[in-house]
Amino acid sequence: MIQYAQLQFKKVLVLGLAKSGVAAAELLHELGAFVTVNDSKPFEENPQAQSLLQKGITVICGRHPEDLLDEGFELIVKNPGIPYSNPIIKNAIERKLPVITEVELAYLISEAPFIGITGTNGKTTTTTLIYEMLNNGHRNPRIAGNIGTVACSVAKEATKDDCIVIELSSFQLMGIQKFKPKIAILTNLYDAHLDYHGTFDEYRNAKLNITKNQDESDWLIFNTNQEVLRESVKDSKAKKVPFNSDHRTEEGISADETTIYWQGEPFIDRSIIALPGKHNLENILAALAASILYGCDKEKMEEVLKTFTGVRHRTQFVREWQGRKIYNDSKATNCLATKVALDAFTAPTILLAGGLDRGHSFEELRDSMKNVEGVVAFGETKERFIEFARSCGVKVAIEAEDVEDAVQKAATISNQGNIILLSPACASWDQYPNFEVRGDVFIEAVMKLN
């Protein structure tokens, strides 16, 4: 860990706890800063705040005092989920106080270089693939961010011989000043989180922060299939490495129906790839490009591609049962994600879908329902989803009480050669605390089939 001297004796406010806030507060305290933590959860119900207080960190809980910034803070480290419309954050910006997120703090103290991955979809799969390839190739990766350990906790332990592979959200990237990944990846850009960012342009600009500090010694890997990305990355100073999943190109990494190419030359036969779907081919291309640039051996990358069947809850292959291949895509909490999952398969599909009723239409799925032979719907939206499925010409559309019941009914109505796919197109909160629990229930039910 680099002892970042500029933080010593500095008055720092950590706004919001959770894992990233706790880790940031502890690191700042260790670096000699005068740390105050402010969290809305009452102190008596807040074991994290109680632990920080015992370490000598000032804690203010249960409210956000209007005069909090009058304490003379020189830096704000905010939880990424706290919007910039928050009164304290707005006040800090008016006072020209720097507002960062924990990722920036991790970068300031890290001896290891970063490989940063962002985008609307595919971040987790791409991040995991890179980690697996580099780990298999003995390149000393450490995984961090939204799918791993909090970034500054990883950075504290990492050495100059390691690298930190980190998934980054737009919320995190809004709060960077010096963060500069050696390799940056932009998987794709679609409308998302507009309730937080307000406009697509603001969202896109937040994502582009991943490359704002890069220079000619760095690389930017981006999806050249998307015009919005081709235009958006033009001002980046990094060496640009495009990926294209539609056809062979002479630059970057690309693929046609049979082969993956590096700089226009055949590199890997697609027949070895275990992970299905065009969207996953894009993730694979981005991960391969990063691993190649980081010096990973081709054979080590191929070994991962032969065995990697998906991240848990993201078009994850669960098992083959009596001639049916069964996939868990519980992470699909909206129609776009389910559309991507359905488009990944050409075999006749039994779709398990439904969940929290937010009143959203399912029309976005219509063109992707062509291979769906059966639907088992559950949750608050089950009646609406069945009505939609029938309007698409789906032969069999039935209700289930929950995911466990849906698995039993899907097994009954399916045939050999079918895909059975959990891809709900809805949030889980009507029946399950989160999509992970919903997916775990699905996996357990699938494993009980005999």
The reply to whether 209 sits in an annotated binding site is no
Partners of 143 in the β-ladder? 165
The reply to whether 124 sits in an annotated binding site is yes
The reply to whether 120 sits in an annotated binding site is yes
Hey, what are 430's tokens? 């009507």
Alpha helices in 210-254 (DSSP H): 227-232
Partners of 422 in the β-ladder? 328, 352
Distance CA 442, CA 342 (A): 18
SS3 156: helix
Distance CA 296, CA 163 (A): 13
**Residue 367 exposure: Cα atoms within 13 Å on the Cβ side:** 4
Distance CA 160, CA 1 (A): 9
The reply to whether 223 sits in an annotated binding site is no
Contacts of 410 (CB under 8 A, 6+ apart): 350, 352, 374, 376, 420
Q: Is 96 left (phi over 0), alpha (psi -120 to 50) or beta?
A: left
SS3 184: strand
The reply to whether 323 sits in an annotated binding site is no
Question: Which one, of 81, 142, 79, lies nearest residue 111 by Cα?
Answer: 142
The reply to whether 119 sits in an annotated binding site is yes
Residue numbering of the annotated binding site for ATP: 119-125
Residue numbering of the annotated binding site: 119-125
